[in-house]
A and B are shown apart, each in its own frame.
Chain A
């Protein structure tokens, strides 16, 4: 045992300072609010919003604007280069962004890989979550059964990456397999595969991991939506003698459509930014890299700030339609609420 506990003391002191600072800040804020003249809502609101607003400005809004500017600059941000970074991204053969179907195995390239993630993860995890939610609805042990699927949500992407890397572990043909998947393959008479190394399928095996994490989310939200379907609709359908199959497609699905949309959108946004899984399991090698991983590599490993910023902007461009849609929805709701 050569672990030195005294070496950890300064960190714990830091934690203590942090907590004290927290208490001081909150106490001070409440004190100031008490003293302020209570007549004018505007001043109170300003005081309440100031800390959050300031942090948002410094930590999110100004940096986001800076990133948009950096995307049009060169590697060390000293020179304006126009659309060069985007030209590189979309037309340069060596950027690794574009698909190359002439090689064997085919290279998806970063852009197409990311698209594959964004198409597959939301649909598959929503489908799994929905099926499971319907299947266990009103079953015995329902809450226990749900907890099982839901549990991966508490596990970090890094942890999940390791868990699945272990499932995919490869040992040479003939020797005993220690990975579950290859054990299955061997038991069925096949030859063991290097699931994470061999393109182009390795991307799919990474996608499985995120589906595994996200299915719990869709299951919980959809299950709540299913339970909220008015009983008389279900009753009426029963009296009409529908089969379970018809019930699912004609009653359940239409009733939970809003929840379905929310789940799909939320998971899509999350998937777009996937980074940890790729980083942990393959490091982005073997043709498995995605936009968020390249963004990290170019910005913080390769010192190519221009390209990194351009990749971040690309991620942002993908979500802009969703932002606009959500804001319109929100405004409509606020207006309805005001009436």
Chain B
């Protein structure tokens, strides 16, 4: 299947409509088509442009007139960014710290599921054992179970450990300071597994069976086949899942709110939601802050869009 955005078919419509009426009609429809798509395209981009433009306008300009006046009367400043990134926390600054938190949360939360999912997907696709299909179906079904179902018990698992009938089976995790990030990594890793295994399994199952069989006949172990035959072939799939997971973790609010704890470990999204609530009128800071949080996923997304689309199609159309 073509991957959507990368396909630009060259010949628009080779045949010429036979009648004049047909030609007029065709022209009309293509004109409405252009108009409709232009309106949609504007609706989908203008709000973001508004925030970007506002973030580089001086405070009293933002607060006194609309951002569209920028084009008639351009006044440019980077002060908003300096304030939100490096200003004191009480003045809704300090975003640089939250930015680092976002990075520290996101990177391991992408790496761990990537490895575990690849291994599990390989087992489900290329080893033979009884009950394999049932395990696969169960993991597939877990994809749809709402995250909300796991939150309360998982938090108490971290905070109080596991006790059964008064006997403490597992201790509380008792983490504080930077070590608290571990619980966030753990939660994100668990929640990523069903979709990840499903996606990677789809790719792996499509690899030609002869390839794996031949390696088996040659006496290669599964570990070796995984490393030197399968892994190099599924790099695009790994990339698309990694992008998914990256966007998901970086943009997540719920998991971070519950597991990251106080401001020392919270990511950008948590801070941003807080600012939107407390300082909803300080648009000079809100717009700059919003853009700081958007810029990284946007860059990742735009540069790796091809892989993202491929993953999207594999995950949805075939599912």
Q: Are A280 and B144 in contact (CB under 8 A)?
A: no
Pair count A-B, CB < 8 A: 400
Q: Which of B82, B150, B250, B316 contacts A263 (CB 8 A)?
A: B316
Check: A190 CB closer than 8 A to any chain B CB.
Answer: no
From A259, which residue of chain B is reached at the shortest CB distance?
A: B317
Q: If the complex has contacts A34-B224, A53-B120, A55-B190, are A272 and B139 also in contact, measured as CB distance less than 8 A?
A: no
From A146, which residue of chain B is reached at the shortest CB distance?
A: B5
Q: State the main secondary structure of chain A at its contact with B.
A: helix
CB of B57, distance to nearest CB on chain A (Å) = 10
Q: Which of B41, B88, B187, B247 contacts A2 (CB 8 A)?
A: B88
Q: How far is the CA of A155 from the CA of B187 in the complex (A)?
A: 22
Contact residues of B between 110 and 159, Cβ < 8 Å to A: 111-112, 115-117, 119-120, 122-124, 127-130, 132-133, 135-137, 139-142, 144-155, 157
Q: How far is the CA of A216 from the CA of B68 in the complex (A)?
A: 25
CB of A59, distance to nearest CB on chain B (Å) = 3
Check: B76 CB closer than 8 A to any chain A CB.
Answer: no
> Which chain A residues lie closer than 8 Å to B44 at the CB level?
148-149, 151-152, 212, 215-216
> Which chain B residues lie closer than 8 Å to A33 at the CB level?
221-223, 226
Q: State the main secondary structure of chain B at its contact with A.
A: helix
From B151, which residue of chain A is reached at the shortest CB distance?
A: A299
Interface residues on A, range: 35 or more
Check: A166 CB closer than 8 A to any chain B CB.
Answer: yes
Check: B302 CB closer than 8 A to any chain A CB.
Answer: yes
Q: If the complex has contacts A11-B101, A59-B186, A326-B140, are A156 and B316 also in contact, measured as CB distance less than 8 A?
A: no
CB of B169, distance to nearest CB on chain A (Å) = 12
Contact residues of A between 48 and 75, Cβ < 8 Å to B: 48-49, 51-53, 55-56, 58-64, 66-68, 70
Interface residues on B, range: 35 or more
From A220, which residue of chain B is reached at the shortest CB distance?
A: B4
Q: Are B181 and A14 in contact (CB under 8 A)?
A: yes
Q: If the complex has contacts A2-B88, A149-B41, A279-B273, are A299 and B149 also in contact, measured as CB distance less than 8 A?
A: no
Check: B37 CB closer than 8 A to any chain A CB.
Answer: yes
CB of A138, distance to nearest CB on chain B (Å) = 5
Interface string of A305-339 (1 = CB under 8 A from B): 10011011101100100110011001100100000
From A320, which residue of chain B is reached at the shortest CB distance?
A: B144
Q: Are B294 and A156 in contact (CB under 8 A)?
A: yes
Q: How far is the CA of A240 from the CA of B319 in the complex (A)?
A: 35
> Which chain B residues lie closer than 8 Å to A313 at the CB level?
149
Q: Are B107 and A275 in contact (CB under 8 A)?
A: no
Which residue numbers of A lie inside 8 Å of B, CB to CB?
Answer: 1-3, 7-8, 10-15, 18-19, 21-22, 25-26, 29-30, 33-34, 36, 38, 41-42, 44-45, 48-49, 51-53, 55-56, 58-64, 66-68, 70, 128, 131-132, 134-136, 138-139, 142-143, 145-159, 161-167, 169, 176-180, 183, 212, 215-217, 220-221, 223-225, 227-228, 238, 243-244, 258-259, 262-263, 266, 269, 272-273, 275-276, 279-281, 283, 292, 295-296, 299-300, 305, 308-309, 311-313, 315-316, 319, 322-323, 326-327, 330-331, 334
